[in-house]
A and B are shown apart, each in its own frame.
Chain A
Amino acid sequence: MKTTRRSLVLTGAALAFVAGIGLTAQPAPAQAEYPEKPISYIIPFGPGGESDITARLQQPFFKEKFGQDLVISYKPGGGGAVGWATLNTLKGDGYTMMGVNLPHIVLQPQQKDVGYKTDDITMLYWFHYTPDAIVVTDDSPFKTLQDLIKHAKENPGKVIFSGSGKGTAPHLAQVRFDKLAGVKTTYVPFKGTGASVAALMGKQVSAAMAFTTVAANYEKTRLLAVAMEKRHPRFPDVPTFKELGMDIVSGAYRGIAVPKSTPEPVRQKLTAMIKAVNEDPAFRKKMEEGGFAVVDYAHGKSADDFLSSFAKSVTASAKEAGLLK
Chain B
Amino acid sequence: MAGLEHLLAALTPINLAFALFGVVAGTVIGAIPGLTATMSVAVLVPLTFAMPTSSALILMGAIYTGAIYGGAYSAILLNTPGTPSAIATTFDGYPLAKKGDGDYAITIACLASVIGGLVGALALMTLAPPLSQVALAFGSVEYFWLAIFGLSLIAALSEGSLLKGVAGGALGLLLSCIGVAEVAGDVRLTFGLQTLLSGIQIVAALIGLYSIPVLIDLVAQPGHHLQVDSGSRGFRLGEAVRYLWGDKINTIRSAVIGTVVGILPGAGGSIASLVSYSEARRTAKPGQAYGKGEPGGIIASESANNATVGGGFIPTLVLGIPGTPPDAVILGALLVQGVRTGPSLFTNQGEIVYTFIWGLILATILMLPTGLFIGRYAYRTIITLPKALLVPAIAFMTIIGSYAIRNNISDVIIMIVLGGLGWIIGRFGFTASPIVLGLILGPIAESGFVQAWTIGTATDDRFGMFFGRPISIAIIVFTLFTLLSPLVLARLQKIKEQAHAD
Contacts and interface: CB of A to CB of B under 8 A. Distances in A.
B322 interface: yes
A76 B458 contact: no
Interface in B299-352: 319-322, 325, 328-333, 335-336, 340-344
Contacts of A201: 136, 319, 321
A137 to B, nearest CB: 10
Given A53-B336, A74-B406, A7 B136 contact: no
B342 A4 contact: no
A158 B460 CA distance: 9
* Interface size bracket, A side: 35 or more
A81 B384 contact: no
Contacts, number: 165
Interface string A99-117: 0000000000001111100
A323 interface: yes
A77 to B, nearest CB: 3
Chain B facing A: main interface SS: helix
Contacts of A187: 454
A166 B320 contact: no
A78 B198 contact: yes
A219 B198 contact: no
Interface in A74-122: 74-79, 81-82, 85, 111-115
B470 interface: no
* Interface size bracket, B side: 35 or more
A77 B454 contact: no
Contacts of A113: 187, 192
B185 A77 contact: no
B333 A202 contact: no
A29 B380 CA distance: 41
A315 interface: no
B458 A157 contact: yes
B385 A77 contact: no
Contacts of B389: 8
Contact of A218 (B139, B182, B342): B342
B407 A52 contact: no
Interface string B26-57: 00000000000011001001100100000000
A49 interface: yes
A189 B183 contact: yes
A217 B329 contact: no
Contact of A198 (B135, B180, B194, B342): B135
A310 interface: no
Contacts of A157: 458
Given A56-B336, A78-B179, A217-B320, 14 more contacts: A4-B386, A7-B380, A48-B42, A56-B333, A75-B406, A75-B408, A77-B199, A186-B457, A188-B140, A188-B455, A189-B451, A194-B328, A198-B321, A217-B340
Interface of B: 38-39, 42, 45-46, 49, 135-140, 179-180, 182-187, 192, 194, 197-199, 265-266, 319-322, 325, 328-333, 335-336, 340-344, 380-381, 384-386, 389, 406-408, 443, 447, 450-451, 454-455, 457-459
